[in-house]
Amino acid sequence: MSSIIEDLIARKVFNNRGEETIEVDVITTSGFGRASAPAGKSRGKAEVVYYPQGGVDAAIKKVDELIAPELAGLNADFQEEIDNSLHEIDGSTNFKNIGGNTAFSISLANAEAAANSHGLLLFQFLGGNAATSLPYPLGNCISGGLHARGKSPDFQEYLALPHGAESFLEAASANTLIHKKIGDALKKKSESFNGGKSDEGAWIANIDTVRAFDVIAKACEEVGNEMDFECGFGIDAACSSMWKEKEEKYVYENEGVKRDSGEQLEFLLDLIEKYHLTYVEDPFHEEDFESFAELTRKSKNCLICGDDLFTTNTERLNNGIKINAGNAIIIKVNQIGTLSDAVETIETAQRHGYDPVVSHRSGDTCDWHIAHICVAYKCPIIKTGVVEGARIAKVNELIRIEHFLGNRAKMAHLKIR
Ligand code: PGA
Ligand code: ZN
């Protein structure tokens, strides 16, 4: 058995939006790994640069001419060494020369190749025998904001979180039922609703920002009663895209309202209390650490999660930790570029009581590696939509992992349970 890297092969493939993306194969003496990169639509400013100038074609050329010759002969087992080499070859702080998505695909394909060389599944290779806990699926049911077209709620995502489930399969089933009930309710509520869905498979409807809570609340309550466990819910407010710097206000276009930071805080506290929200992501824009801290202090039993705020970056997370801004963090490996960087952020989060929420991107492929990352590093939540091919690829992989683990499988520890 040998994990020595023999070659890297890069190609252009497409994501679920039909956008070009990069896929990389890493071939070792005894194994093989493959990964393809996702793409965000509401990106954080502090994310790494996805591609070098020239896009995916230029990235592929870099792999062929520059990166493959450098990595050949190295041992895929030593992930940090591979990831450090990627940083060295790139030479910048934000992967602008080889592309963060190039680094992402090589990094994850390498991890997969190492696991495969040892005849192990990725989560076993990365997490060992102790990796037996499954995440709760946080599933997008209604899309708004930058993820929708035309009139739709101002918040970007309304998400179900069936945190009372005793197994991943049960939780994923609850999400599919909630998603379906919401579709039925929207049909009754909105004449213009035609069953349209966003990239993430969530419904798009012309309903207002606050009424959308009533719809998801009812669906979660009904499914919770039917399945006999608690189904919570929350939002990704994605407020960087609502924040207008010049006016210093959050603009709710659908609602026709503007709120300054203080009003935004009060509005969100009211929503958390009224609807018993268990999850609120990016309630303020990406530089407002103080308001995140205030909301975290004043709200109860709710995960206050930073996505654009932290961009999976340990340094930004450390800034948040200093003032207790948030108590959860979105982990998107392609915001930072490599698996080692993301793992450093996950471990920093866990040391300081922040729940890591491993997430897809709105533009994604059927790559399922994030399912393994959750289990390997005991992350309590996976955010990956309910329906649509690229989402189901990850959900089904977790169902397979749970099945594989048999009676060793258990649900992860979640603060708000
Ligand atoms: P994305 O956004 O479009 O950048 O993937 C998803 C999110 O904000 O969580
Ligand atoms: Zn987000």
Task: Establish whether residue 373 lines the binding site of ligand 1, counting it when its CB lies within 6 angstroms of any ligand atom.
Answer: no
Catalytic residue among 157, 200, 281, 294: 200
One-letter identity of residue 246:
K
What is the Å distance from ligand 2's center to 238 Cα? 5
Per DSSP, 129 falls in state: G
Residues 343-347: contacts with CB within 8 Å, 24+ apart? 343/377, 344/314, 345/310, 345/312, 345/313, 345/314, 345/317, 346/377, 346/379, 347/377
For 367, counting Cβ atoms within 10 Å of its Cβ (0-12 exposed, 13-18 middle, 19+ buried), the class is buried
What is the rounded distance in angstroms from the CA atom of residue 297 to the CA atom of residue 257? 26
Residue with the two structure tokens 């930073």? 306
Residues written for the chain:
417
pLDDT at 369 over 70: yes
pLDDT tens-digit map of 10-67: 999 999 999 999 999 999 999 999 999 999 999 999 999 999 999 999 999 999 999 9
Tell me how crowded residue 276 is: count the other CB atoms within 10 A of its CB: 15
Q: Are 258 and 251 in contact (CB under 8 A)?
A: yes
pLDDT at 21: 98
Q: Is 381 in contact with 175 (CB distance < 8 Å)?
A: no
Say how far apart CA 232 and CA 402 lie, in whole Å: 22
pLDDT, tens only, 302-331: 999 999 999 999 999 999 999 999 999 999
Rounded Cα distance, 178 and 35, in Å: 31
314 CB neighbour count, 10 Å cutoff: 18
CB of 143 sitting under 6 A from ligand 1: no
pTM: 0.98
pLDDT, tens only, 243-290: 999 999 999 999 999 999 999 999 999 999 999 999 999 999 999 999
Nearest CA to ligand 1 atom 2: 42
Nearest residue to 349 via CA among 373, 372, 369, 379: 379
The CA-atom distances, in angstroms, between 137 and each of 94, 172, 187, 224 are: 30, 6, 25, 15
pLDDT digits (tens, 9 = 90+) for 221-241: 999 999 999 999 999 999 999
Q: Does the C-beta of 307 come closer than 6 Å to ligand 1?
A: yes
Cα–Cα distance list, 99 to 22, 36, 370 (Å) = 10, 13, 20
Geometric angle at alpha carbon 70, from 377 and 85, rounded to 5°: 40
Distances (CA, A) of 300 to 75, 208, 291, 304, 320: 47, 26, 15, 10, 18
pLDDT in tens, 138-168: 999 999 999 998 889 999 999 999 999 999 9
Ligand 1: centre distance to CA 155 (Å): 12
Of all protein residues, whose CA lies closest to atom 4 belonging to ligand 1? 40
Q: Measured in angstroms, how far is the CA atom of residue 41 from the centroid of ligand 1? A: 6
For CA atoms 401, 402, 405, 409, the dihedral sign is: positive
User: Chain-wide mean pLDDT for the chain?
Assistant: 97
Q: How far is the CA of 236 from the centre of ligand 2 (A)?
A: 5
Four-residue CA torsion sign, 11, 13, 19, 22 = negative
**166 is an active site residue:** no
Beta strands of 122-248 (E only): which ranges?
A: 133-134, 136-143, 157-161, 232-236, 243-244
Give the pLDDT score at 415.
83
Closest residue by Cα to atom 1, ligand 1, is 40
Residue 417: its pLDDT value, please?
67
Share of residues in the chain with pLDDT > 90 (%): 97
Burial 316-327 (b: 16+ CB within 10 A, else e): bbeebbeebbbb
pLDDT of 174 > 90? The answer is yes
| CA 142 – CA 4 distance, rounded (Å) | 46
Report the alpha-carbon distance of residue 22 to residue 12 in Å, rounded: 5
CA-38 nearest atom, ligand 1? 5
Residue range 288-303: average pLDDT?
A: 97
**CA distance linking residue 60 with residue 406, whole number of Å:** 40
| Ligand 1 contact via 378 beta carbon (within 6 Å) | no
**Residue 341 predicted with pLDDT over 80:** yes
Ligand 1 pocket residue status of 42, Cβ below 6 Å: yes
Contact assessment for residue 76 and residue 114, using Cβ atoms and an 8 Å cutoff = yes
Q: How far is residue 219's CA from residue 189's CA, in Å, rounded to a whole number? A: 14
200 is catalytic: yes
To 10 degrees, the CA torsion angle through 332, 338, 340, 343?
0
- DSSP line for 281-344: E--S-TT-HHHHHHHHHH--S-EEEESTTTTT-HHHHHHHHHTT--SEEEE-HHHHSSHHHHHH
